[in-house]
Amino acid sequence: MKRALIIGAGPAGLTAAYELLTKSKDIEVVIFEESDCFGGISKTVEYKGNRMDMGGHRFFSKMPEVNEWWNKMLPMQGKPAWDDILLGRRVPLTSGGPDPEKKERVMLTRHRVSRILFDSKFYDYPISLKVETFKNMGLLNTIKVGFSYLASLIHKLPEDNLENFYINRFGRKLYSMFFEYYTENLWGRHPREIDASWGAQRVKGLSIIAVIKDVFGKVFKKKNRKVETSLIEEFKYPKLGPGQLWDVTAAEVEKLGGTIIKNAKVVRLNKNVDNVITSLVYEKDGKEISMSGDYFISSMPIRDLVGGINDVPKEPARIAAGLPYRDYMTLGVLVSKIDLKNKTNMRTVANIVPDCWVYVQDRNVKLGRFQVYNNWSPYMVKDLARTVWIGLEYFVNEGDKLWCMDEKEFTKLGVSEMMKLGLIHNPKVVLDTHMEKVKKAYPAYFDTYDEIDTLIDYLNTISNLYCVGRNGQHRYNNIDHSMATSFEAVKNILSGSKDKANIWNVNTETEYHEEK
C-alpha cells in the first residue's frame, strides 16, 4: 500500500485527504497539523459561548464540484434560522434539509452586506450606483469621480502594479477614496509596490462597467445574468462558523481510516539523488520523528517548505526565502449595544447595522476592517438579543509593535479606535474581549513574488510533491479555489500524471470554472 503524507489540516489538506480516501482504497493517508485545531485560517474560535471567524469566510463558488462537496458535509437548511424566525424574514429553503434550530450539521443561506466606512459615512462595497452613494459623496466629489473615470477610459495605464490596475477600473479619484489607504493598511506597502496580479485575482472582472451591467441586469430582470463574485448578494455559511466544516471533514477523514496528528510541526523533507521526496520529519512533544511516504501534499507556506528541503539550488532557495507574508490579529469585543445606526431597509435583531463586515477607510485608525458576527450566523453569539459580538481586524507583521502587544494593550487600542469611529461612545458598554493572532494569514505579492514562476518550475521537478492551498501556492485563494487545487492534485496522483500545470492553474484565469 502507498502512503500519502499531507502537511496541514486546513481546507486544502483536509480536502486532499478526503478525496484520496474516498477515491482510492490503496493509499494510506496521514495528515500533520501544527496546531491543535482544524481549518487553518478558516477555523472558528469559541470564547465563552461566542464564536469568532478568523478573517470572515463567505462560502460561494461557481464550481459545481465544490458546491456538491459542501452540501455533502453540511446540507443546506430546510427551515429558517433563529434570527429569520424572530424577524419573519423569508430565506431560500431546501426541501428535506435540516432544521438549524434542531441540527448542528447545517449550512445557512445568508444575505451579503459589506460596506465601506469612509468619512463617517457608509458606502456599498463594491461601490453601487445608488442615490445614497452620490449623496454621501457630495456634488463636487461625484463630478470629480465621473471625470476621473472617463479619463481612465481614455488613457489606460500600464498594469505593472496594483495602483494602476485599480485606477484603470475605477478612476484615480475613486481609487484614492476607497482603495489606496485600505490596501496600504492591509499589506503594509503602497499599492504601487504590489504586483497587479493580486488585483486581477481578487477583483477579477469587477469595474465600474461591471457594476453598471449588474444594475441594468437587475432593472431589466435579465435571466441568467452573469454576476461577478464580488457582487453576489447571498452566500452559504456553516451554522457554527467556517471551522465547523473542517471539524466535520476531519471527523469524516478519520472515519474513513485517515490519521491526523495534531501539534505536529513538519520541519524537514528529505529528498534523494533522483529528486524524489522519501520522508519528512516533524516535531511533536519536543521530539523529532521521521515518517516515510510515497506522495507528499503540502499546504504549508512555500517559504518554510523550501527552507526544509535539502539540496535546493541557489535561485529557487533565494526566491522562496524572500516571499513575504502579512499576519493578522483580531480582537473580539462583546458590547451591550453598538452606536452605529441602521439606516438601511434591512431588518436585523436589535436593529443593529446589517453588515457582515465593514472596510475601514480612515487614516486616523490602524483598524482595517471589523466584523459583526451576529450577522454571519445567529448561532455565533451566545445572547443574540442583548449583545453585539464584533471582531476588530488588524493587519500586521509578526514581531512588529502591534503583534507584540499583550491582550490588555491590544484591548485598549481596539476600544479607543471603536470610539474614534463612533462604533461606541461609552467604554462601559464593553462586556468582554478576546484576542487572536494568525501567522502568515496572507501571502503577499511583492519582494521576490515576481520571480515565483522560477520557483514553481523547480518545485514541479520534484515528481511526488504537490503544492496546494493558499500558502501552499503563495496565492491569495478563496476556500473553493484552495479545495480545487487539492481536487487536481488527487486526480494527478490517481492517474499518474506528472504534469502539474492543472494544479497551479486553478484561479489564475478570470473565467476559471465559472461555467459548468
> CA-CA distances (angstroms) from residue 374 to 39, 105, 334, 416?
21, 19, 11, 22
What span, in angstroms and rounded, lies between the C-alpha atoms of 448 and 460? 18
What span, in angstroms and rounded, lies between the C-alpha atoms of 91 and 109? 7
> CA-CA distances (angstroms) from residue 192 to 179, 362, 397?
12, 20, 19
Q: What is the structure's pLDDT at 28? A: 98
| pLDDT tens, position by position, 180-227 | 998 999 999 999 999 988 777 666 555 555 554 544 454 445 555 454
Cα 267 to the chain's mean position, in Å? 26
Q: Give me the torsion for CA of 304, 305, 310, 314, rounded to 10°.
A: -70
Q: What is the structure's pLDDT at 227? A: 47
What span, in angstroms and rounded, lies between the C-alpha atoms of 138 and 356? 26
On whether the CB atoms of residues 233 and 424 are closer than 8 A, the answer is no
What is the residue whose three cell numbers read 438601511?
344
Q: What is the structure's pLDDT at 112? A: 87
What span, in angstroms and rounded, lies between the C-alpha atoms of 463 and 439? 29
Which among 448, 457, 450, 483 has a CA at the least distance from the CA of 468? 483
Q: What is the structure's pLDDT at 516? A: 34
> What string of DSSP letters covers 309-333?
BTT--HHHHHHHHT--EEEEEEEEE
Q: What is the structure's pLDDT at 511? A: 43
Is the preceding peptide bond at 126 cis, omega within 30 degrees of 0?
Answer: yes
Cell readout for 70 is: 459542501
Q: What is the structure's pLDDT at 149? A: 86
Q: What is the structure's pLDDT at 203? A: 63
What span, in angstroms and rounded, lies between the C-alpha atoms of 450 and 446? 7
Q: What is the structure's pLDDT at 232? A: 63
What span, in angstroms and rounded, lies between the C-alpha atoms of 128 and 22? 44
Whether the model pTM is above 0.75: yes
Neighbouring-strand partners of residue 47: 50
CB atoms within 10 A of CB 130: 12
What span, in angstroms and rounded, lies between the C-alpha atoms of 402 and 45? 21
What span, in angstroms and rounded, lies between the C-alpha atoms of 229 and 240? 23
Cell readout for 172 is: 484615480
HSE-CB of 251 using CA atoms within 13 angstroms: 9
What span, in angstroms and rounded, lies between the C-alpha atoms of 122 and 102? 36
What is the residue whose three cell numbers read 453598471?
212
Which among 113, 106, 72 has a CA at the least distance from the CA of 379? 106
What is the residue whose three cell numbers read 479619484?
173
Q: State which amino acid sits at residue 170.
A: F
Per-position pLDDT tens, the chain of length 516: 999 999 999 999 999 999 999 999 999 999 999 999 999 989 999 999 999 999 889 999 999 999 999 999 999 999 999 999 999 999 999 999 999 999 999 999 999 888 989 888 888 876 666 677 777 788 888 888 888 888 988 899 998 999 999 898 888 988 898 889 989 999 999 999 999 887 776 665 555 555 545 444 544 455 554 544 445 689 999 999 999 999 999 999 999 999 999 999 999 999 999 999 999 999 999 999 999 999 999 999 999 999 999 999 999 999 999 999 999 999 999 999 999 999 989 999 999 999 999 999 999 999 999 999 999 999 999 999 999 999 999 999 999 999 999 999 999 999 999 999 999 999 999 999 999 999 999 999 999 999 999 999 999 999 999 999 999 999 988 999 999 999 999 999 999 999 999 999 997 754 443 333
Cell readout for 233 is: 448578494
On whether the CB atoms of residues 302 and 323 are closer than 8 A, the answer is yes
Which among 262, 201, 272 has a CA at the least distance from the CA of 230? 201
Cell readout for 372 is: 459583526
